[in-house]
Amino acid sequence: MSLLRLRAVLRGPGGLRGPGIPWRIFRSYSSASTKEKANRNVPCERTELLEVLKARAKQLQGSSVPEVTVSKVEVAALDNDKFQEAVVPGPKEKQPIPRAQGDGLAQSSTWAKKLQKEMYSQQPKMKQELGSAASQLALEAKGEATPKTKTMKSPKVPKTKAAPAWTQSSGSPHNKPRVVEVKGAAELKRPQKMPKDTSNQQVLQQTIQANLECFLFLQQAEEAERYLLLCHSSPVKRKVMDVGAFNIVMRIWARKGCLNRLDRLFSILEAAGLQPNLDSYATALECAGRTPSPAKAVLRYLQQLNSSGFHVDELFQKCLFEEDEKEKVLFAIRTVQPNYQLPPPPSPKISKSSLLQDFYSRETMGAYPKLDFSVQELQECFQQQLDMELKNTVTIESVEAAKPLTPQAIKARELLGTLRSQWRDAILQALQNSKRSMARPKRMSKYNVLYPYLCLLPDEEYVDIMLQILNDLSPQGESLAMLARELGSKVYDRYIIQRKLRSGQLEKVQQIYESYIQLLAKDSQPKQYLPREYWEKLVAEAGFGPSLNLKSCTWPCVLLMRLGMHMLELLVKAVKVPRNILNRRLESKPIPVLYHVYSFYSNWQVGLIRPHPIFSQLMSNAAETTLTFNSSAMPMLCPPVPWTSPTFGAFVLNDTKLMRFMDDTTHHQLLLEQCPLVNLHPVLDALNQLGNCAWKINQPVLDIIISIFNDKGDEKLDIPPPLSEAPKPPTPGNSSTWSKSFKHEVFLCKKKAAEMHSLRMDALYKLSIANYVRDKVFWFPHNMDFRGRTYPCPPYFNHLGNDVTRAILLFAEGRPLGPKGLDWLKIHLINLTGLKKKNALQERLEYANEIMEDILDSADHPLTGRKWWMDTDEPWQALACCMEIAKASRSPDPAAYISHFPVHQDGSCNGLQHYAALGRDLSGAASVNLVPCGLPQDVYSAVAQQVEEFRKKDAERGLKIAQVLQGFISRKVVKQTVMTVVYGVTRYGGRLQIEKRLKEIDEFPEEYLWEASHYLVKQVFNSIKEMFSATRDIQNWLTESAKLIAQSGRTVEWVTPLGLPIIQPYYRSRSTVLNCGMQRLSVKTSNSSQKPDTVKQKNAFPPNFIHSLDSTHMMLTALHCLRKGLTFVSVHDCYWTHALTVDVMNQVCRQQFVALHSEKILQDLSEFMLEKYCSSSNSSTEPIAHWQKRLKEQLSNVPSTGEFNLKQVMDSTYFFS
């Protein structure tokens, strides 16, 4: 089975996204391979073949006739797919819709005639079309940001007819697809009123900015200025243009040394009512420094700079430079001020956070811990990482057992090699043909607007991207919208890397990194700096050269989709395979490899790109054993570049955001950029500390896992079996009549196969990457979500993974066990089994000693012995721990044994711990182990006991459902609901959770499920309210505050105790229809220009606020563990360190929890929100008195607190255990 075309469904909190692999793009596949299907029932084959034949008929029709007959279908959005698409021809009334003129892809195949290879260097004839092409993109982006229908007579899009009415709209997932006939031409022409919404302006502004950045990259000065003036002459575009747009064009002329053109732009800028900023003056002085300019001109700009309220020193303190721009500005200044000296670097600012005064104190600061690497070794590691990132992708061997190479496989691989070579040539030719068509003057089409974006990279790179998509395609097809978005994103990622290379940033990073490793290398002098501080010091000392914080222009979603769609259409049109390649008896006619088809997902429909079965069979026969990943999906082979700002850190070249956020949601980035950098220092330092932890592979455990993986897997051990083990669909008695039950059974088989396939690929990716780095030391750079929760950037393989992934990870640094280390390993093992949760630590240790024989047997004979480890909650981590205990206990001196094994300490229902501490809730604190106790308290059992008492009283009063529930209320029934109450679960959601648990009890009468779950969720909420009274008060206060804020039209914002600004990214969404060639795409966008989603803002605030607190606690613990010399990483509220240092970590963890909750958290939150939402300076123009008065009263009424003494946490053994 071909592995390259398979992807796993990878979903996680906030999405496990790595740079270059956006979390929203990960693709899911839905069923088995073609080879598997060959053994299944004939009707399934007929259905699939029919789909392909229909698609082929449509494709032939599209290339030979000028009209396509379709009808419009409105359907609901596919779940978790931001870019919905769905179209099928309607069965009833139809009306011909003409195709767009100038659409080469819709015409006959003569467009694919061979042309000479176009050189990557820019040709003069390209330039003439660039300006008009980019202006057309801005025009379309503006037009398509509204649902306004354009017709063939629209004056704004010359020579363009209405595109095919492939359309889809979002609707209720519960509604069936609704067929609507296409309206008459008169109705199509009727203009719709443009909604007054700033999202239009945001998309237009981003598009203008992106177009100008393209011209800057391509050094097309004339086209850039023509386009700028065209935008300036348009009243609509002039409204969204700012001084930044003028600055981009000025930078192009500055590099050419054309000072007279800059003078002209300055005049236009001022005539437009805009004021030059520092960047404007820096660009003018750079231009003057590149040519022999009269001193009078330089003096004029300097005087204008001063009269604008700026100081010349600010040019070097606040402006960002590329290449030699900084030197040229200085040269120009010295022509009139020969003695001018650069301002000294600003003295480092120290965070004023009261929680970190000791941490940042130079008196208590020790030397930064060293890695077990020399300077030379770290330099080699850096070079390996750089080489990997420059290649963009990494191809590795799969761990799937290599089958013997059969003659069939050898022949299939040879055929694929030949075909891929032909496909590469065909795609390259199609791309160049398309670009030539776009570059022709007087030949406008909807594709021309993309021309500048197809010139940013060498043609071969676009071809590589398209071929990678083809190789990764599942036999069952992919959502057209997701493929388009992925293609566009890949181009953008490579463009950003090219910008970094062009600006000279890479050379500077290399230079600084060579000095930076002096901080980490074992053969260098100890230094009392944090990684961020040392990097900043080296940057300041470097002086000249490009800035490392380059402002990168974000491409709007509309642009990414349109670019991706064009590339996808080229791919579909260009890639063909001989029809008789597997059966020589057939005609040797070339047929397309890819088809555009439509598929149902429940009641929803999406457009798919599906490969022909011949291609799928060929891939299956070839049985290739390699996997290809983006370089940003792999662990780093050198210590990460330290985070020094919201835009710089982690990978060497790959673009990485400090904070993950949704599509087109820019408010987070703006908040971070506006926040004083010193306020972000604690968060940056914590992320650097987590990322600097070095890892290695536990090879013996990995080998055992791979052996089981290749031996049909084991679902009990969480090793997914291959698709050969999937249930086979039943064979119908009569193939012409399928009963409803038979169809349902077939559906369940396909669903199971899809789940097995996803899990299998997930495991394959993780294990293959682990095997690739089995002999290496590696690192996981970290970033965070909008709440401050931290995640490793590589998405597939990291320590946030499942039991299997965690079991094969070890700290690269080893430490002796010390006097208590072996005991901690044994306690950790028993924690992993889940057998002694209610017992004291000493009892767990005694139990481990009692079963020592089983532990040693598991370590020595994992697959042939008594297999005790298999019957535990976390079997693979338990096995790894058994092996570590065996090695340590058999060593001559266990205390001196060097251990690399991570030992975990888990918070006890951590969300409720924070609530209980916030409210000083005495009874709640005791239930979640904030109070010292001889045995661990189990809040779930306590709630179950309380619910049982309520049930008994109700049963005595004769309540029927209370009597039915006798004997069925347990810890397991209520656990999930109790756990999620703190994270905002509603009574509706809680009822579903309890109903699911009751269904698992065979003896429970099914007819009482609804009534029983309804009754129990009410009693669980009552129990929590009684046990955690302060918790419910705080949760209600947070919820009501967020509701009033959102109703006033604002989003909920706050600042964590560490100074991290947070905003909730929940806005009402709207759809933008993209009129693409194969079908219309309805792109659903939700961004800060829309109104806030009141319900989400309200419901999400309490859990998000608590998450921001648990993140703050973790970061404080990480930073103070650094000061104690500990190795520390975390999985949210699960903290890891060496067995030697568990006691120290436990002490630090408790100290920081007490310190955090000793702050006036709720009071500070109230004051912040009163200032932000209720102060007179921020008052809205809407009716103020009513909502503002209510909000002020609500925010001022901070919940009262109880009598719990926080210092008791210091002595609580089971707070984290």
Active site residues: 906, 975, 1133
Tokens of 761: 């690929």
Tokens of 138: 């801005």
Tokens of 821: 């280390």
Tokens of 1154: 């007490």
Report d(CA 988, CA 993) in Å as an integer: 9
Q: Which amino acid is at 8?
A: A
Q: What is the DSSP letter of 1216?
A: B
Q: Which amino acid is at 682?
A: P
Q: Left, alpha or beta for 336 (phi > 0: left; psi -120 to 50: alpha)? A: alpha
What residues have CB less than 8 Å from 567, skipping those under 6 apart? 462, 465, 466, 484, 487, 488, 491
Which residue reads 């509603």 in tokens? 986
Tokens of 437: 């068509």
Tokens of 86: 């769905």
What residues have CB less than 8 Å from 644, skipping those under 6 apart? 532, 535, 536, 539, 548, 549, 684
Report d(CA 880, CA 899) in Å as an integer: 12
What residues have CB less than 8 Å from 369, skipping those under 6 apart? 1122, 1125
Report d(CA 628, CA 394) in Å as an integer: 6
Buried b (16+ CB within 10 A) or exposed e, 292-328: ebeeebbeebbebbeeeebebeebbeebbbbebbbeb
- H or E stretch including 599? strand 594-601
Tokens of 1032: 């419910």
Instruction: Assess contact for 1110 and 911: CB atoms under 8 A.
Output: yes
Cα 836 to chain centroid distance, Å, stands at: 37
How many residues are present in the chain?
1217
The torsion angles phi and psi of 249, rounded to 5 degrees, stand at -65, -40
Report d(CA 1009, CA 996) in Å as an integer: 9
Render 1056-1112 in DSSP notation, one character per residue. Answer: -TTS-EEE---B--EEEEEE-SS-EEEEEE--TTSPB-HHHHHHHHHHHHHHHHHHH
Report d(CA 907, CA 1150) in Å as an integer: 11
**SS3 call for 1022:** helix
Report d(CA 980, CA 777) in Å as an integer: 38
Neighbour-count burial of 893, counting CB atoms closer than 10 A to its CB (0-12 exposed, 13-18 middle, 19+ buried): exposed
Output the CA angle 54-58-60, nearest 5 degrees. Answer: 115
Report d(CA 659, CA 706) in Å as an integer: 35
Instruction: Assess contact for 1094 and 1043: CB atoms under 8 A.
Output: yes
Angstrom CA distances, 219 to 136, 224, 251, 452, stand at 20, 9, 10, 11
Report d(CA 1112, CA 788) in Å as an integer: 8
Instruction: Assess contact for 775 and 740: CB atoms under 8 A.
Output: no
Report d(CA 1119, CA 1111) in Å as an integer: 12
Q: What is the DSSP letter of 696?
A: E
Neighbour-count burial of 629, counting CB atoms closer than 10 A to its CB (0-12 exposed, 13-18 middle, 19+ buried): buried
Tokens of 672: 């971070």
